[in-house]
Each structure stands twice: as C-alpha cells, then as structure tokens.
Structure 1
C-alpha cells in the first residue's frame, strides 16, 4: 500500500474499523443534468439503498415510484408491486455503441447507479483490495489547497466507470475529488467532488457528491452539474 493510500485510509476511519462492517444502508437523492438527457428524470430521487461491502451487490428501493432494483455486475433486475419484472444479464454489453447522448432504459440506469454508488461508498478502502494498483502522481492545486493525487487501476473483476481512475486527497487525508472516464457513456469524463463529511460509526464519509465534466487540462467545467448525490442518512452494519 502506498504512503498516500495508507494516510487516506487512516483519515477515513482506518482499515481495522472498516473491516468490522459487512453492509451499508442509506437514504439519498440523485439528480443532475444527466438524468433528463438519458430519459430517466427523477428515477433516483428519494431512494433507499442497502449494499454489501464484501461484494458488489446493491439493492435500491424507490417507495414513491414503487419499484425495487437489484444490481450485481452480472445481472440487474427491477421488481414492481404488480409482479412485473425487468431483468438483464451481462448488463454492460447493453451499452455497446453508446455515447453520452444515448438514451437509457431503467435497467441501464440501475446498472450505472448501482456500481457507481458501491464504488463511492467504499473508497478509499476499496483500493486496498487485491488486484488494485496505485501510483502517486504530482500534486494538484485547486480551491486554494494542495491535493495529492493517486492514480488507481481497477481489476477487471470490479464493475466501475473505467479501469483507470484518479483520486485527490487534501492535507487532512480526506477525498476531495475523484476523476474518471465513463465507459458506458462512450468515455464521457467526470470530476466527482466529495464534501460535507460526517463520521458514521468511526468511518468518515462525504454526504454530498457533485459531478462535473473537465477539460483536457483537468480543469472543472462549472456548468452543467451532471450528477448530484446527496445522502440524507448513511449507516454501517456488522451483519
């Protein structure tokens, strides 16, 4: 583990504390310009989440819209109260030929949201798992701060935006920004800003994430706000 990753893990609550937990639950709202563009406005407003921390398994429930979705890398499924079931195997294959403008159905939206939330809720501890490769790069100046940058290469076994991603950590060791290209959107770029940190059972987590595009110099493009993620509650569980 790199020195930067060690410091980041410690700042977010420590690996020993993290290892106590098996699952996470949350209440949250997801918005932003991406969803109307994809034809799914408000699909993830007012949702509840229950996820495993040991494997990529996420349940998402919308009480208002009366559906429950399940994400795994291999299968996504949406169940409705009337017994209607939507299901897709090998869901990543369904994005072939997509660009950032391609419309999505609900299963597209669920797969993307499932892997994204699971990734966000497990960083930086995720990077300590077998198969991840990390490399510290040069410092970055933004918002009047100096951030240390960690390039992370994901193993093929983890569903995420893309294999190479970048995390920026402040002097306090907390995540400030997370960059990636989104394979399922034809390589669209995202700069994901983490803020509003709370401590939950000893784990330090950002309650807000705002995602923007960035230019060739990695400078944030302020408009539009592509995705907003605002957690109303998060809790970690030992079972």
Structure 2
C-alpha cells in the first residue's frame, strides 16, 4: 500500500475502524442535467441509500413508488416492494447499455443499475481502494487554483461494476477527497470531473455532504455549464 493511500485512509477515519462496520446508509437528494438527457424526471424528494461495505450491494428507497426500492448487485438489478416482492428485474444489466450515447433514454432498470454502482462507489470511497483486486498507484498532482492536490489512479477489478475501469482521485493537504475523475462509460463514455466537499464527521469517519459532477474538458478543467449530476448527502448511519 502506498504512503499516500495510507495517509488518505487514516484521514478518512482509518481502515481498522472501517472494518468494524458492515453497512452505511444516508439520505440523498439528487439533481443535475443528466436525468433529462435520459428522458427521466428527477425530483428533489429525499431518498435513502443503503450500501454494504465489503461487497457491492446497494438499495435506494423510495424508487418509482412510495413502497418500492431498488436492489443492486453487479450481476442483477431489481425493483422490489419494501417486503421484498420483485416488481421488475434484469440479469446481466450492464449488457442493456450496449451502444448507448449521452442522450440515449433509460428505463427504470437502467437508472437503478447506474444509481446502484455509482452510489456504492461514492459511499465506500476511499476504503474500497484497500479491497482485494484494486490496483492503486500515485500519479502527478492536480493544480486547483493555488492548491496542489496529490492523486491516486485506481484500476477497478472486473467483478466490480463502476463508471470506468480506471479512475483518478485527488486529495487536499489534509488528505481528504476533493475530486473524483472518471468516464461515464454507460452514457457514451463522456469524461467527468466530480467535486467533493462539505466533509462531515460521522462515527469517526469523514463523509462528504456534496458531490457535483461536471463534464471534464480536454484540459482537465470542468465545464461549469455542463453540471450533470448533483448529490447532497446527510444523516449517515453506520451499522
């Protein structure tokens, strides 16, 4: 494990402490321009996200109907009632995105799959980097204004569903996450610069309260007029 990754994990609460818990949940409010491009209506109602910490599982509720929720795993995504009755499901859900561009419409199961892997990634960062199969290397720092943010490039293992196989994470002088770069492979592979801030102390962990994902230009700068996804997070609970 690199020295930078050690410092990052310690700054966010420590790997030993992380391993004492099995799930995390939070309230989320989502917005941004991506949903309209996908033919979806995005309201400002709060929802609950629950994610496992040592396997890739996530669930969002409510979803579509007040008594429905999602159930996401890489090999299967479903919409189900709060009692667990399956409403709709899709096996091998990633294959359903073949040929998609940025403005290709999504159905509810497309959205449930995207939400599942994206939110799982966000809620488990940076500790997912210490999971088996992840390859992490230090990269050149990123200049943001007058600040220099050290970076890690992470290659995700094939069994983990995520935005793109390789992603970059940048950190402030306090080693807390500031920015997360990737390609949105399932939406035409457009490049993304996602800014992370509002770190809150939750059960000894540093967890963000705001994420803002912009289209990333060729100079690594965000295109501020193209705000694709916004996520406000609060009321974290670890169990």
**TM score, norm. by length of structure 2:** 0.94
The structural deviation recorded for 1:44 is 7.7
Cα pair 2:78 2:86 within 8 Å, conserved: no
Distance 2:64 2:234 in 1: 16
Name 1:25's counterpart in structure 2.
Answer: 25
The structural deviation recorded for 1:182 is 1.4
Deviations 1:50-72 (A, max 9, x none): 22112111111117832211111
Name 1:74's counterpart in structure 2.
Answer: 75
Name 1:51's counterpart in structure 2.
Answer: 51
Go from structure 1 to structure 2 and tell me whether the alpha carbon gap of 1:84 and 1:14 turns closer, same or farther (over 3 Å shift): closer
Cα pair 1:26 1:231 within 8 Å, conserved: yes
Name 1:38's counterpart in structure 2.
Answer: 38
Name 1:207's counterpart in structure 2.
Answer: 209
Name 1:155's counterpart in structure 2.
Answer: 157
The structural deviation recorded for 1:131 is 1.0
Go from structure 1 to structure 2 and tell me whether the alpha carbon gap of 1:53 and 1:43 turns closer, same or farther (over 3 Å shift): farther
Deviations 1:200-229 (A, max 9, x none): 000111111000011112111101211000
Distance 2:41 2:146 in 1: 35
Go from structure 1 to structure 2 and tell me whether the alpha carbon gap of 1:173 and 1:84 turns closer, same or farther (over 3 Å shift): closer
The equivalences for 1:1-239 within 5 A come to: 1-42=1-42, 45-62=45-62, 65-66=65-66, 67-80=68-81, 85-237=87-239
Q: Which is bigger in relative contact order (C-alpha 8 A, separation at least 6)?
A: 1
The structural deviation recorded for 1:103 is 0.5
Deviations 1:88-107 (A, max 9, x none): 00000000000111000010
Superposed CA RMSD:
1.8
The structural deviation recorded for 1:45 is 3.9
Distance 1:45 1:157 in 2: 32
Go from structure 1 to structure 2 and tell me whether the alpha carbon gap of 1:44 and 1:184 turns closer, same or farther (over 3 Å shift): farther
The structural deviation recorded for 1:20 is 0.6
Structure 1: runs of 5 or more not aligned: none
Which secondary structure does the structure 1 equivalent of 2:65 belong to? coil
Which secondary structure does the structure 1 equivalent of 2:4 belong to? helix
Structure 2: runs of 5 or more not aligned: none
Cα pair 1:167 1:179 within 8 Å, conserved: yes
Cα pair 2:27 2:48 within 8 Å, conserved: yes
**Number of residue-to-residue matches in the alignment:** 237
Go from structure 1 to structure 2 and tell me whether the alpha carbon gap of 1:84 and 1:133 turns closer, same or farther (over 3 Å shift): closer
The structural deviation recorded for 1:160 is 0.4
Go from structure 1 to structure 2 and tell me whether the alpha carbon gap of 1:73 and 1:45 turns closer, same or farther (over 3 Å shift): farther
Which secondary structure does the structure 1 equivalent of 2:215 belong to? strand
Distance 2:157 2:43 in 1: 30
